[in-house]
Structure 1
Amino acid sequence: METRARETLRERKKRRTREALLRAALELFTTQGYEQTTVDEIAEACEVSQRTFFRYFAGKEDAAFAVQDMTEARFVAAVRERPAHEAPMEAMRQAVLQGWDALRETVESAVPVELYLRMYRTIESTPALLAAHLRRSAATEETIARLLAEREGVDVAADPRPRLAVAVFGGVMRVTERQWSTGDDFSLEAIRQLTASCLDQVGSALTGNWRTT
């Protein structure tokens, strides 16, 4: 019993250390710039060694995308949990919009939402982070495409539809993020509403006539 209690305390301390390092990293990235921030500065802000930082993160990029990795994992899980009768695009749409509160809780379990939102803008304005964001997004999209193929009982290697659907959905999400990050309403509710609006326009944007008579 005592051993289990000690282990619990140890895990709690590790979690607090990781959260402190993550918050310090994002604060520094968003205030003085990603490229200008060193691992030593992050560690020093938490009064720990550089070695301690590397126990929790592979490097600066790993810390920069830690919360995003959590939200993307939550989204993949939400898609997997959608009812089997939903069409692929609808399953992804509902996974985002109906799972918004769960996504918020995922963020809040790690860092303040406001800090997470500021980090979005930093990613968009930092070439190295934007490139990493696109690379990571491509990997997540491949995971979702394979998940959709499994849901629909098709071969992802032979049937292009899973990857096409995910490419369209991922493109909408990137347009949404970019529009939100350059707008005036810097809130989580604003990006949720914008996401819903953009997803609602996918059908008409792809198949409709844009010209007015």
Structure 2
Amino acid sequence: MDPRLAIPHAEPGNRIGLFGGSFNPPHSGHRLVADIALARLGLDRLWWLVTPGNPLKDHSELAPLARRLDAVEAIARHPRMVVTALETQLGTAYSARTLARLTQLRPRLNFVWVMGADNLAGFHRWQDWRGIFARVPIAVVDRPGATLPALASPAAQSFAGNRLDEADARLLPGMAPPAWTFLTGPRDASSSTRIRALARDR
């Protein structure tokens, strides 16, 4: 079996960022989100969770999983970043179910869900999104054009009282959920959708 399909090794107590996506393809904006989360949250590891297929997205242009894993490995070269498609082994298609299984199987790890602000804007459309907030702390990293839609979103408004000031972001991995923070900083406008469109037009 491809070792990238297994749950990565981690030591008890490790602070693990979970950065999920189809990464179709991965780009410098993804890497910037990963770098910001790794540094600002004081993570021991950041796992890039390459999904077999996002249930909310059209799969007609989805590259094969192995090709996307290879592409993410090429962009995520860092001693504390790990690339995995563990959802294939777990048999979970939705993030809420993945988190339920991971926290059950690795209860001694401190997981944090990491996502770009563009995902927070539509987070209320994810399956059991309130359950995700209740299961693990969440770090939202700002993305170009997504700041206001993200912070005005139903998810942000519903959990406004659980928001941690970004100055205290390093406390997040050890906090009991629901807890979340919004991390600002450098932004990169790269887009998987735009990259695929440019490829089609060639």
Name which structure has the greater RCO, CA cutoff 8 Å, separation 6+: 2
Mark yes or no: TM-score above 0.5: no
Name the structure with the higher strand share.
2
Q: Tell me the TM-score normalised to structure 2 length.
A: 0.28
The higher radius of gyration belongs to 1
TM-score, length-scaled by structure 1 = 0.27
Greater helix percent: which structure?
Answer: 1
